[in-house]
Amino acid sequence: MSSVAPQDPTQTPEGKGPLSKETAYVATLFTEGRVRVREVRTREGGVRTLYYLEVPEAPKGVVFALPKRLGARLLGQPLLAQHAPRTNGKGLLGGKQDFLRTVPQDRCWGRPFFFFVRGRLAAVDLEEGRLQVEVRPNPGGKLKAPFTLTLLAPLSLLEALPPVGSAVYLEGEVRPRSGRLVVRRWEPARLWDDPH
């Protein structure tokens, strides 16, 4: 058990300079598809317009939301984007995936349905072939509350991971249709709230 008090992840660490991209918590999924629109009924009985990215490989029930202004401008066109992945406890993409940004084709260093995560290892289950990574808010960032991603990985990768609580950087891909996020590569990482 550590005797160091945990830092509040919403506060900038004292005595440290601006947050480096290499030490920020991050979870990003590259998506590629065509911009579409549909009308959705609200609980109140109204109708609202939803712009989204139609991704052919996406599992049923997963929505890659887009901002209204962007969707209206690019309706019917192909788009490469980054979304913030969210999984259920079994490691499946589920529900609405929040839009982060568009990506020029020459800046996509992975292929669509590629993801990367930098966070804190929260659990490793060798029997089920799963791991969990916590992604926390960064100082000055938009994320307001931490969340945990459940990811699948081969046994050899799981056995090579550092202890729970360690900072890790993971890369992988989403399995088409099933929506499983599968880790293919990992490396140790540094995070802004690591104890020194």
pLDDT digits (tens, 9 = 90+) for 91-126: 899 888 989 999 886 665 556 789 999 999 999 999
Please list the residues that pair with 97 across neighbouring strands: 64
Does residue 183 lie within any of the structural domains?
yes
- Residue 110 pLDDT: 55
Question: Which pLDDT value is given to residue 186?
Answer: 97
CA atoms within 13 A on the CB side of 55: 30
Residue 1 has what pLDDT? 23
- What is the chain's length? 196
Round the CA-based radius of gyration of the chain to a whole number and report it.
18
Among 69, 179, 167, smallest CA distance to 121 is for: 167
Q: What's the rounded mean pLDDT across residues 71-89?
A: 91
Strand stretches in 23-72, DSSP E: 26-41, 47-54, 63-65
> 18 in a domain, yes or no?
no
Within-domain flag for 179 = yes
| Residue 109 pLDDT | 54
Q: What is the pTM of this model?
A: 0.82
Q: Does a structural domain hold residue 196? A: no
In a domain, 166, yes or no: yes
* Residue 29 belongs to a domain: yes
Whether residue 5 lies inside any domain: the answer is no
Q: Which pLDDT belongs to residue 136?
A: 96
Q: Is the pLDDT of residue 74 over 50?
A: yes
Q: What is the pLDDT of residue 89?
A: 83
* CA 120 from centre of chain: 13
Q: Is residue 15 part of a domain?
A: no
Q: Which domain holds residue 126?
A: 25-188
pLDDT at residue 163 above 50?
Answer: yes
CB atoms within 10 A of CB 35: 21
Residue type, 57: E
- Residue bearing tokens 């712009």: 51
Average pLDDT over residues 70-78: 93
Average model confidence (pLDDT) for the chain? 86
Nearest to 25 by CA among 116, 92, 93: 116
Number of domains in the chain: 1
**What pLDDT is attached to residue 106?**
66
How far does Cα 68 stand from its chain's mean position?
Answer: 21
